[in-house]
């Protein structure tokens, strides 16, 4: 069954059980999807309302476009949930491969390396997708329904959490392949994303707090 077909209780039960998946990677992607959904709610309760009619044509068009992009982000986040599960299960299968002959040992080692790289790359792609979504939330804060600014703020907090969580999953896999992979480039990319995320999150939350708590 796909994650999108789970109800909340079933997902939480699976997450808290001894099942191999879902785990931290899929949860990080779910948090990203929740961020997108909250931001979409802001747009849904702005478009067609007085706040939307008061915008100029350029910003109306931009909001409609960003609303569509938000839906795409939610879908992509759900796909990352599935991809993470697939990667993890594939990696676990590698550890079950026979390791009696030298040929089997070498094949098993190569498969583990390749699947570990894949398991590292998926959360990295999630983090990259998330960092690009901040501008969408920022627009919702500035031009969305004023009564929903707090929800956009929560979306920003969740997005940062998704990025931090994805980063953990990158690092735990990257650590196993440092001797066989150009890990420095990944480390630099990851640190850049985390630094930018913290800055962008705080900038958005400052805007939100100045609006909702004077």
So where are the chain's domains? 24-212
197 has pLDDT over 90: yes
pLDDT of residue 125: 97
Query: Which tokens belong to 49?
Result: 């309302």
178 has pLDDT over 90: no
What burial class does residue 25 get, using C-beta atoms within 10 Å of its C-beta: 0-12 exposed, 13-18 middle, 19+ buried? buried
- For the chain, give the percent of residues with pLDDT over 70: 100
Matching CATH number, 24-212, of 3.40.309.10, 1.10.1740.10, 2.40.70.10, 1.20.120.680: 1.20.120.680
45-103 pLDDT, tens per residue? 999 999 999 999 999 999 999 999 999 999 999 999 999 999 999 999 999 999 999 99
How confident is the model over 168-176, as a mean pLDDT?
Answer: 94
104-142 pLDDT, tens per residue? 999 999 999 999 999 999 999 999 999 999 999 999 999
């Amino acid at each position: 069954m796909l994650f999108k077909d789970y109800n909340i209780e079933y997902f939480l039960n699976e997450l808290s059980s001894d099942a191999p998946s879902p785990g931290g990677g899929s949860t990080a992607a779910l948090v990203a999807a929740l961020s997108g959904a909250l931001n979409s709610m802001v747009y849904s309760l702005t478009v067609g309302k007085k706040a939307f009619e008061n915008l100029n044509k350029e910003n109306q068009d931009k909001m409609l476009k960003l609303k569509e992009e938000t839906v795409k982000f939610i879908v992509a986040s759900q796909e990352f949930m599935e991809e993470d599960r697939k990667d993890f299960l594939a990696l676990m299968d590698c550890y079950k491969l026979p390791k009696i002959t030298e040929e089997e040992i070498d094949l098993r080692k190569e498969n583990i390396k390749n699947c570990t790289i894949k398991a590292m790359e998926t959360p990295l792609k999630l983090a990259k997708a998330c960092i690009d979504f901040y501008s969408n939330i920022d627009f919702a804060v500035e031009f969305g329904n004023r009564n929903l600014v707090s929800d956009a703020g929560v979306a920003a907090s969740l997005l940062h959490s998704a990025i931090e969580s994805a980063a953990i999953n990158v690092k735990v896999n990257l650590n196993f392949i440092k001797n066989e992979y150009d890990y420095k480039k990944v480390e630099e990319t990851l640190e850049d994303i985390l630094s930018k995320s913290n800055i962008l999150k705080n900038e958005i939350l400052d805007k939100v707090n100045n609006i909702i708590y004077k």
